[in-house]
Structure 1
Amino acid sequence: MKNIFYYLAIFLGLALTSCEPMEDIHDEVNSKLDNERAVGDITYTLTEDDYDDLGLNFPNFNSVDDAKSLLPEFLADNYPNYGSKSSANITFDIYAPLPTERSLIVYEVTTEDYDANEETERFDNFDDEDQIFDFLEGKFPDLENRTLVSLTYEFYDGRPNTFNNGFLFVDGEFTMIPGLSDEEYNLLGERFSNFSNEDEADEKLPLILKEKYKFENLEAGDIKPIMFKLFVTDEDDVDGDGSTTDRTTYSYVKYFVYNGSSFEPYGNTLSQSIQFGNIDGVWIPDNTIRYTLAGSDYSVVSSTLMDVYAGPANNVGRFQSFDVRSSSSNYWNPSMLIEAMNVVLDNLMPNAEEGQQYVITFAAYNGAVVNQELSLIKLNGEWIINE
């Protein structure tokens, strides 16, 4: 019996003393595996199937924070061979609806309305947009949220005009939504000042929007609202005749987004991108920008540091590479390289925010020209090594 306990004690002792070496071995293996994984840059746009795989009901996220929470697992599953210092720029859609009408008021400003305001009574028209908003606030003081007022009024801007524009009441304020004139409906092939259905509106409104904003410096992603009309059943008795079965003209708000060459219906989603970095095998959202020095960057370093490091600065400007041989009279030691990268980044991004990160690839000469990297972060106004 004593022998049994003796051998058991030996076995337990071996097991206990073996734990720590085994953990060290596992850590070493994991580290080696991570070092053997690829280091690369991923650029990817999510597809509808990707959103399904993420367990989402729609092909978009509700917020950027949701994307930051779910995408690391997506990257780990789809790019298992990418290791530390890899980066990924992922483009995705977020749900970003814009307000439209829930109820409608159709109103034409009368002579009595103009006469009630000393600024408009003389000529029975508006001549300043502020007058329109003042009128609306006085005329409709208790509107429900997202009420659209389809307003017809006279406006003088050097010549008299009759306009029909929308004014959408959202969160206590009116926003003007430009409408179409009778002439614009005719230009689009309509006999009357309305469309037959929404599909027709979607097809034709981009044409008039491009004309309306032809003198504006549009950029891809710009969103423009417009009010359009359909001839529909008057379910809300908008015309006030007591019937909800007749047909009349209703006004609607719709948004269109400029894609760089034309307008298309806005689908209530915005395209966003997030940069992720791989640290110790884990993908985390980060703001790292990877940048490779161009010829002009070496020239900036050379001219800026010529009075400080004459030989090395002249050499880097001439050969477009940093001499990293410690035996060379043109040697760029680690602290000098950081100083050089400060010159580059301050020139490249003078207004970079605190915490901005860069991975800089530069040409180095160690007997042959090779690429080397420095990982930097901006802290206290200075670019330092990002550990």
Structure 2
Amino acid sequence: MKRFFKLLMLLAVISFVACENELDDVYNELNLDNIVVGVETYTFTSEDYAEYEDELGGEEFFETQDQADEIIPDFLADKYPVWGEGSLVNVTYNLFDETVLETMTASGILSNLGGIDSYLSSNYETAPDGTFVELTYDATILSNTLSDGDIEDIAIRMVTEYPEAAQSADRFGNFDRRSSNPAYWSDTMILEGLYRYLGEEYSVGQVVVITFPIYDGGTNFSETFVVMNNGYKFLKLDVDATGSDAIEYTLTDSDYDTIAADLATAYPGPAANVGRFGSFDVRSSSSNYWSDAMLLEALNIVLPAASEGDVYAVTYLIYNGSVTTETKTLLYTSGAYVENETTVEVSPVVAKNDGDWVFPYTFTRADFDMFGFRFPNFSSSNIYILDIHLKDLFPYAQAGDVAMVQYDYFSGGVSTKYGHSVFDGDNWHLTPDVIQTSFQYGFEDGEWVPDNTIVYALLSADIALIESTFIDIYPGPADNVGFFGSFDRRPGSGNFWSDAMLLEAFNVVLDARDPGAEEGQKYSLTFLTYIGSTVPETKLVIKVDGEWVYQE
């Protein structure tokens, strides 16, 4: 009876008394520590941010995740004073989260955006839309030496914007590079002229070495730019492309027909396919697959006889799920063409948009000059012009279209920013750097702490590691996951991956990827599975006694 009376007293205290010390006294007397275990979701409000005005500088967002992890536990302790061990709150809040540029290095040689998309789709398939990657790779390069007549054609295209410079170029067949002369051609003007004249000749992502005649008042009569076609303009690259001269050749419909006829006996399926569609099927799983050796054999059939040592840059159509172009650089020696890639290392930025890898629209000095800016960057006072420019750039945009952008921004200093703008049917809207996000906090050892779960999606490199590690232990399942990139989860299948087998694989991956993980570290692992169709699956693991085990 006495205990029942004290319980009634506790309820009265909780209902009517706001003094935390009195609550603690009652709890101590009844020995009811951690009486409440709660699970809740909560979203920060304007009033909540106002409580921490000094720490947040009056803003309604956290500057960093570390700042959120410092403030939110204090907030939860005040909001849920009687919640105890094991309680969880998933908190939604605003976080300053500007897009971070990731870096990757590709193996092999890529010739254009089609090759970039194919590589990243295979090696970074878990990347969400909005991901920006600086990809370093060896790019095949083409060359083009402009004549006086080419310069005159460029002048015609530029006369409206730059009348004096264009008239000079038309008259003398060169670009005047004397900066003090009224007919001066700046780098920006030359790049603009080159793109207007040559932009449609090269595939998006192609690197081209362009040599053109100049006059600088001295002994230099030509200059060379190494440029990349990003689909919007030529971007000048700061790379050394010495020795890149090559004769360009693009396969014609007649060439595909000739290849199909000549190789019909040797490769009946692939030959018939290329004759029908006018492109080489390069999917290794296809019965019409053209290997590199077969492609070289085909090109030798149609390419013209050349002089010993000549280099040809041969462009042709391929099919790898969609039709795109590929360029192969070949050396003519001993009466035949052999592989002889002329390459240069480049590091362009690409972004994932609606499932495809694309070049972002990069704002250059030419754009800022057109805007009438004194400096080649945006700031808080004029960033709105970015969206206005996109409206002019994409006049046929549909509601929901997304444009990926790269630009310099001034805020105390100049930095390069990456982001995306969404079209609502009338206007473009650049997505702000402040996002709404959620994070879980738990009550452990008498205080609120951030849950340490790391969310990770298995990559192609992880799958390759699993295949090589388990090929002798589980030959069928290991070979299957290596080939398809997904774990067969159908019970009864000869390639079935059980939970126990998956845990073995997770231990191999996490020990390789995070060898310094501390005891108690948690991971949420997402991976592709096959259950009749390909679907993602997620498993939760934690490090206990040096090993990764499933979370209970």
Shorter-chain TM range is 0.3 to 0.5
- Max Rg structure: 1
Structure 1 length-normalised TM: 0.35
